[in-house]
């Protein structure tokens, strides 16, 4: 298994989302949770963007010890100066600088040409290297950048001292195989690629951020930029939990992370509540329904053998429950299981009776709670010991 580095950008790309802003104390809380989750790099902010962001990078640098703390800077001296200054207390530090490399950016944003942008890229990396040894370079809009030019940029910035070359699909445009081929192309056509790590940074505008990230890994990328719950600009970034669990489920990809997957769910809840950003119920891995089986056939199968309908163990992501939702589609097996978890054992005759009452109730209510079950079983819920199912 080869090592894959996880860069979490929830506090930078994620925090750019309107309404998701955190104060410094909250950012420190998230940074500590990310450290204990096991991420390798925390992108802590964009110091030049505001005094608050600057201060947050300073405080996060003091608060965490193991992960690399990374600060974003456009490829201009003032940004790089501010990033270096904000990182002064970080034990392990990285400046993440870069510039737009697609013809859209070169022509319309910079009114420039390819050679001039290449020269600016090299200058930015050399300047950042005066401050820190670890410099990542992002080729903004790499998803729509010509691969031959991208390879020229990558070779030049690595020669200038970049340790990581980031290949953002900034607009979320790429198809998985196109993005994968882009990474493969760089692996095969940048002569000094072995001196740096290629990183993915995929946005989700067409719902392909996770698929593109996985394609990038298969192509040879060994760092991924991700966010908790997939938060991020517009439709978001590739989600940390999806990428990590895909790698855990598909060992054939042959890369490993240092993520403690049991901390995925609590971290997801923390980020969602602090950022006031609800997680959609059907979100993979961390959505309320991600492990909730509601059809009778599935519930029966799960209770006989979990693997009949589950590819992951909910315990692996920090959920200690087998979420069986009791609805009008549930069968006797699910009822019996829930009753037993509530400390109530019933014979088949009694189960039939409860089941008939249950169906009447479930026709009126969308889902049946533990209190409803106790009522149906004729129990006084104040006297029962309730297990947490």
**Using CB distances below 5 to 8 A depending on partner kind, what does residue 94 bind out of Zn ion, ligand KIV, none?**
none
Q: Min. distance of Cβ 371 from ligand KIV in angstroms?
A: 47
The alpha carbon torsion through 197, 203, 207, 213 (nearest 10 deg) reads: 0
Is residue 105 a contact residue for ligand KIV (CB under 6 A)?
no
Q: Pick the piece of the chain touching ligand KIV (CB under 6 A) from 155-163, 166-174, 207-215, 367-375.
A: 166-174
Q: Pick the piece of the chain touching ligand KIV (CB under 6 A) from 30-38, 101-109, 163-171, 345-353.
A: 163-171
CB atoms near residue 29 (< 10 Å): 16
Q: Hey, CA dihedral for 211, 217, 221, 223, is it positive or negative?
A: positive
Q: Min. distance of Cβ 273 from Zn ion in angstroms?
A: 23
Is residue 5 a contact residue for ligand KIV (CB under 6 A)?
no
What does the per-residue mask of binding to ligand KIV show for 183-212, with x meaning CB under 6 A?
A: ------------------x-x---------
Q: Min. distance of Cβ 207 from ligand KIV in angstroms?
A: 16
Q: Min. distance of Cβ 216 from ligand KIV in angstroms?
A: 14
Q: Min. distance of Cβ 201 from ligand KIV in angstroms?
A: 5
Closer residue to Zn ion in complex, CB, 232/318: 232
How would you write the chain as a 3-class SS string?
CEECEEEECCCCCHHHCCCCCCCHHHHHHHHHHHHHHCCCEEEEECHHHCHHHHHHHHHHHHHCCCCEEEEEEECCHHHHHHHHHHCCCCCCEEEEEEEECCHHHHHHHCCCCHHHHHHHHHHHHHHHHCCCCCEEEEEECHHHCCHHHHHHHHHHHHHCCCCEEEEEECCCCCCHHHHHHHHHHHHHHCCCHHHCEEEEEEECCCCCHHHHHHHHHHHCCCEEEEEHHHCCCCCCECEHHHHHHHHHHCHHHCEECCCCHHHHHHHHHHHHHHHCCCCCCCCCCCCCCCCCECCHHHHHHHHHCHHHCCCCCHHHHCCCCCCECCCCCCCHHHHHHHHHHCCCCCCHHHHHHHHHHHHHHHHHCCCCCHHHHHHHCCCCCCCCCCCCC
Q: Which residue's CB comes closest to ligand KIV?
A: 168
Closer residue to ligand KIV in complex, CB, 179/358: 179
Q: Pick the piece of the chain touching ligand KIV (CB under 6 A) from 103-111, 118-126, 162-170, 252-260.
A: 162-170
Is residue 170 a contact residue for ligand KIV (CB under 6 A)?
yes
**Using CB distances below 5 to 8 A depending on partner kind, what does residue 140 bind out of ligand KIV, Zn ion, none?**
ligand KIV
Is residue 13 a contact residue for Zn ion (CB under 5 A)?
yes
Closer residue to ligand KIV in complex, CB, 203/336: 203
- The DSSP bridge pattern shows strands 135-140 and 164-169 to be parallel
Q: Min. distance of Cβ 308 from ligand KIV in angstroms?
A: 40
Nearest residue to 139 (alpha-carbon basis) of 79, 201, 205: 201
**Using CB distances below 5 to 8 A depending on partner kind, what does residue 54 bind out of ligand KIV, Zn ion, none?**
none
Closer residue to ligand KIV in complex, CB, 201/322: 201
Residue 326 CA: distances (Å) to CA of 16, 129, 343, 353: 39, 59, 17, 16
Which residue from 40, 53, 140, 241 is in contact with ligand KIV, where contact means CB under 6 A? Answer: 140
d(C-alpha 277, C-alpha 19), whole Å: 8
**Using CB distances below 5 to 8 A depending on partner kind, what does residue 138 bind out of Zn ion, ligand KIV, none?**
ligand KIV
Q: Pick the piece of the chain touching ligand KIV (CB under 6 A) from 165-173, 241-249, 345-353, 376-384.
A: 165-173
Binding residues with Zn ion: total (CB under 5 A): 1
Which residue from 14, 67, 161, 168 is in contact with ligand KIV, where contact means CB under 6 A? Answer: 168
Which residue from 10, 11, 13, 221 is in contact with ligand KIV, where contact means CB under 6 A? Answer: 13
Is residue 138 a contact residue for ligand KIV (CB under 6 A)?
yes
**Chain residues in the site for ligand KIV (CB under 6 A):** 13, 138, 140, 166, 168, 170, 201, 203
**Chain residues in the site for Zn ion (CB under 5 A):** 13
């Amino acid at each position: 298994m080869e090592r894959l580095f996880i860069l979490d950008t929830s506090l930078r790309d994620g925090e750019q989302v309107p309404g998701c802003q955190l104060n410094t104390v909250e950012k420190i809380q998230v940074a500590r949770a990310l450290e204990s989750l096991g991420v390798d790099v925390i992108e802590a902010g964009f110091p030049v963007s505001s005094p608050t962001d600057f201060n947050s990078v300073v405080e996060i640098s003091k608060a965490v010890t193991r992960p690399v703390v990374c600060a974003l800077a456009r490829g201009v001296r003032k940004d790089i100066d501010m990033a270096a200054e904000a990182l002064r207390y970080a034990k392990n530090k990285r400046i993440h600088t870069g510039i737009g490399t697609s013809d859209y950016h070169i022509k319309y944003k910079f009114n420039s040409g390819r050679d001039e942008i290449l020269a600016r890229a090299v200058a930015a990396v050399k300047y950042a290297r005066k401050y820190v040894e670890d410099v990542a370079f992002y080729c903004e809009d790499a998803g729509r950048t010509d691969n031959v030019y991208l390879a020229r940029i990558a070779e030049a910035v690595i020669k200038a001292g970049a340790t990581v070359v980031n290949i953002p699909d900034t607009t979320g445009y790429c198809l998985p195989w196109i993005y994968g081929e882009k990474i493969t192309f760089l692996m095969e056509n940048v002569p000094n690629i072995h001196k740096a790590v290629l990183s993915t940074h995929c946005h989700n505008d067409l719902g392909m951020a996770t698929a593109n990230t996985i394609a990038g890994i298969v192509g040879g990328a060994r760092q991924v930029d991700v966010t908790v719950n997939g938060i991020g600009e517009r439709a978001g970034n590739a989600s940390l939990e999806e990428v990590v669990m895909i790698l855990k489920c598909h060992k054939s990809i042959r890369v490993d992370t240092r993520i403690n997957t049991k901390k995925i769910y609590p971290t997801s809840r923390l980020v969602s509540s602090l950022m006031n950003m609800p997680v959609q119920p059907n979100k993979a891995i961390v959505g309320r329904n991600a492990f909730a089986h509601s059809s009778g056939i599935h519930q029966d199968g799960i209770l006989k053998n979990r693997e009949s309908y589950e590819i992951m163990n909910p315990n692996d992501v920090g959920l200690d429950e087998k979420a069986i939702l009791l609805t009008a589609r549930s069968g006797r097996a699910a009822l019996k299981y829930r009753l037993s978890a509530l400390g109530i054992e019933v014979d088949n005759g009694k189960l039939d009776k409860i089941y008939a009452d249950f169906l009447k109730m479930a026709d009126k209510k969308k889902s049946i709670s533990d209190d409803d079950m106790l009522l149906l079983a004729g129990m006084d819920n104040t006297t029962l010991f309730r297990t947490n199912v």
